[in-house]
Structure 1
Amino acid sequence: MIQQKDRARASGKFQNISEDTDWIVVKKGSPTEFTGYEKIENNAQLIKYIQEGDYYKIVLDKTPFYAEAGGQIGDSGFLTAKGFKFKVEDVQKSGDEFIHIGRIQEGKIEDVQNVNAKIDDSRRQQIRRNHTATHLLHQALRKIVGDHVQQAGSLVNAELLRFDLTHYEQISRSQINELEQCVNSVILQNIDVETNVKNFDDAREEGAVGLFGEKYGDTVRVVDIPGFSKELCGGTHVNRTGDIGAIKIISESALASGIRRLVAVSGDAIQTLMSKQEHVISEIRKELKCTEDEISSRIQSLIADKKILEREIKELRQFSMTGEIGDLVTGAESLGDIRLVVQNVDDPGDLRELGDQFRQAFKTKGAALIGTIQKDKPMVMCAVTDDLTSQIQAGKIVKEMGGVMGGGGGGKPHLATAGGNDIHLLQDALDHGRNLIQSILQKVDV
């Protein structure tokens, strides 16, 4: 579970923060002061920096930029001074220092001692919405899916929120609807979101939920949505639940055994999602020439028609193969009193059915080795009449043929199939199968 959480955290583009690199020190500094809970910009002193390729890493004495932690990605924005502009693309934390990572767009850093640090506020607002929505979703999951649910990882960025949870089965569509209704109900209540710094033991006694396996200090930050959720969290959040707008879960999937993943959007992203879905529906309506209400029935009708056509194609292919099988059996290679067909054919459909047809056509003293390509993979089939299975065992033959193609297979003595990985080796496999049968028959004759 801790590994899942670590993977969710490691989502930023810049993760290589080394304490041993040779920084250029501008001013002796203490731990970076984070002002981002209250401010979106502040003036700051440059403490140190280092260049790595096209990128620079900069440490300030104080910053409004949130450093990636707890699943929430780092802020972006700009550091500016007279004649200098630095685009912050990511922020990571190393010890007590906030590392601003990005590129210089104007000027030289050697001329800079003080900067104005300003985050991209619109991006931060959407991140805040998604982070608070994550807390609401967590609590809703415990209420609806079960109190066994624990957070196993998360990602909060400006586009979406991703929540990994411990659960033993797929979360049903009806449960997802309940989750959305529960969270959106709390959003509509427009509850004040309270944040307080408390003693860890006091916070836990008050019911604050922490991440499983997470290590906390003596003092912790508590994010409280009164009457619904209370969690230990150092991330940025909205002032009131109504600021989120709404939440929409867009996917549910299995991440690992006992771990499910939910992905959701909130705020402005919901309008974007709705517009995209409306466009898709509009295109479907145009193609199907129907109303929105008729789409489902029209698709079901098309699926039914497709199944009928597939069945008819299969029957036609089998009818066509019946005549071809007769010709192949008539022209079969003679190995003493035994007839052998070795042929590469276009996809005949079910190879086992084809094998039965060959056995019926031969009746006695016959064997067939058929090769084909199905779904871009080489396939072979061996069919043997019952009177020859004591000498020629189809399962053993195709096992070796599959090995020639980089695959494997097997089956019964009278009928077996094998698959491979290299279509260019299909003919080699057929030749190998023929040689095997010839060798077996020669030994019998001796």
Structure 2
Amino acid sequence: DAQKDGDLWIHVGHLTKGKLSVGQTLSATVDESRRSGIRRAHSATHILHHALHCTVGKDATQRGSRVQQDELRFDFAHNQALTAEEVRQVEDIINECIAQGATVTTELLPIEAARKKGAMALFGEKYPDEVRVVSMGDFSVELCGGTHLSNTGQVGLCRITSEEPIAKGVRRITAITGPKAVEKGRETDELIAQLQRMLKAPQAAELVAKVESLQNEVKTLSKQLSELNSASVADAIDALAAQAETISGVKVIAKKLEGVSRETLRDFADQLRDKHSPIALILGAEIEGKVSLIVAVSKPLVKEKNLHAGNVVKAAATVAGGAGGGRPDMAEAGAKLVEKLDEAIAAGAAELKKQLGV
């Protein structure tokens, strides 16, 4: 890192081996590869600023930036996200300016002369009487003290990788240049080629149709599976109802189910409530490594017995390190402690019995 303190240039570094002593003479060597990458990214940042003005207007002023080897980020004033078309337009303008091979020049000018030349300055920054002006072709003039290329064509290529908000009224664009931009393109090409092989699509243009076909197939199979699950549930609910404990005329079921999905868990609750009322139940299962709980009571019992499914599922979920809630007649919850699933179901059953006056 190089910094200026008055007329003194200070180089900041970290000693990795050996030792230093006062008065020792040192030599500094620039890492040319790294410096070239920084130049590409920095010059591309100026071109990006110009491209934003062309696309969204002069109010897209700089609010911050950072450049490193073939990577840049640029913060600018703007009140809404750029559309996909605007991002493409910005990237196109940048690469058009690169392709022009425009000359990059630097000169020291009095601050007023620089302003008359149209040099853009950062809002709120204080500048000395003499400033360094960096010009690129006829499209960019900025006050800047950083390292730059001598020709925009030396950037090679610039690709925008993201556009996002960072504060109210401030957006951030990140981009890559030179070899990193080329490598990004190669990675994308390889990904597309891999998808073509997996989906047996001779042409990349066929990928969308292939994916749509798979999505439709998954939708059809999911519907068929759901119908099979419903039929399987119908076969199982009579056995569950036969095991129910009857309290104050209400069937009470507390059961852990194996190998079910959340949809199947809800299907069990719905069918038991529809076919075996009056009923109050709590069902639990391990799904995707987590606890899933559902509590359902026949709707008339909410008024007749003052039952509340939300309070029951909350009592159960708390035991397993979770939370949940819902309507008085139906409530669901999730929890993390799978090893506490049996205890959670027992706690829910106890709360149901308590509400039934046991």
Instruction: Please point out which of 216, 223, 226 is paired with 1:304.
Output: 216
Q: Structure 2 counterpart of 1:280, which letter? A: L
Cα offset, 1:136, TM superposition? 0.7
C-alpha change, 1:348 and 1:109, in structure 2 (3 Å) is closer
- SS of the equivalent of 1:278 reads helix
**Correspondence for 1:116:** 27
Which residue does the alignment assign to 1:428?
343
Q: Give matches, 1:197-346, under 5 Å.
A: 197-291=108-202, 292-345=204-257, 346=259
Q: Using the alignment, how far apart are the partners of 2:163 and 2:311 within structure 1?
A: 44
Deviation at 1:92, TM superposition (A): 7.0
Say whether 1:398 aligns with 2:310.
Answer: no
Aligned residue in 1 for 2:11: 98
* Cα distance in 2 between the residues matched to 1:94 and 1:441: 80
Uncovered stretches (5+) of structure 1, i.e. residues with no partner: 1-66, 68-90
Q: How many residues align?
A: 351
| Residue identity opposite 1:371 in structure 2 | G
Cα displacement string for residues 244-275 of structure 1 (whole angstroms, at most 9, x for unaligned residues): 11211123334455443322222222322222
Shift of 1:108: 5.5
Corresponding residue of 1:366: 279
Contact 1:248–1:264 (Cα < 8 Å) also in 2: yes
Give 1:343's aligned amino acid: K
- The C-alpha deviation readout for 1:87-139, integer Å capped at 9, x for no partner, is xxxx67788522122423xx654598333321111221111011110111122
Larger deviation: 181-190 or 195-204? 195-204
Q: Would you say 1:185 and 2:134 are equivalent positions?
A: no
Distance verdict in 2 for CA 1:290–1:230, change over 3 Å: same
Of the candidates 36, 41, 49, which is equivalent to residue 130 of structure 1? 41
Say which SS state the counterpart of residue 416 (structure 1) adopts: strand
Q: CA deviation at 1:205?
A: 4.5
Give the match for residue 354 of structure 2.
439
- Quote the Cα distance in structure 1 between the aligned partners of 2:186 and 2:147: 28
- Paired with 1:425 and 1:213, the residues of 2 have a C-alpha distance of 59
Q: State how far apart, in whole Å, the 1-side matches of 2:29 and 2:241 are.
A: 82
In the alignment, does 2:326 pair up with 1:411?
A: yes
Q: CA RMSD in A?
A: 2.6
- The 1-side partners of 2:200 and 2:222 are apart by 24
Higher relative contact order structure (alpha carbons within 8 Å, sequence separation ≥ 6) = 2
What secondary structure, in the 3-state scheme, does the structure 2 residue paired with 1:329 have? helix
Contact 2:77 2:170 in 1 (8 A): yes
Task: Output aligned runs, 1:62-101, within 5 Å.
Answer: 67=1, 97-101=10-14
Query: CA separation of 1:231/1:409 partners in 2, compared to 1, >3 Å: closer, same or farther?
Result: same
Listed one character per residue, the Cα deviations across residues 259-318 of structure 1 (whole Å, up to 9, x for unaligned) are 433222222223222222222222222222221332222222222222222222222222
Partner-residue secondary structure (3-state), 2:161: strand
Q: Percent identity?
A: 34
8 Å CA contact 1:198–1:220 kept in 2: the answer is: yes
Residues 143-154 of structure 1: pairs in structure 2 closer than 5 A: 143-154=54-65
Aligned 8 A contact 2:269 2:294 in 1: yes
Q: Is this contact kept in 2: 1:134–1:161, CA < 8 A?
A: yes
CA deviation digits over 1:138-162, x for unaligned, max 9?
A: 2211221233323333221114222
Measure how far apart 1:335 and its partner are.
2.0
TM-score when normalising by structure 1: 0.72
- Worse overlay, 93-102 or 425-434: 93-102
Letter in 2 for 1:298: K
Give the distance between the partners of 1:180 and 1:243, measured in 2 at CA: 16
In structure 2, stretches of 5+ residues that fail to align are: none
More strand by share: 1
Is contact 1:162–1:263 with CA below 8 Å preserved after alignment?
A: yes
Q: Which residue matches 1:86?
A: none
> Partner amino acid for 2:295?
C
Check 1:348–1:243 CA distance in 2 against 1; reply closer, same or farther (3 A cut). Answer: closer
| Alpha-carbon contact 1:373-1:379 (below 8 Å) kept | yes
Which deviates further from its counterpart, 135-144 or 151-160? 151-160
Superposition deviation, residue 366 in structure 1: 0.6
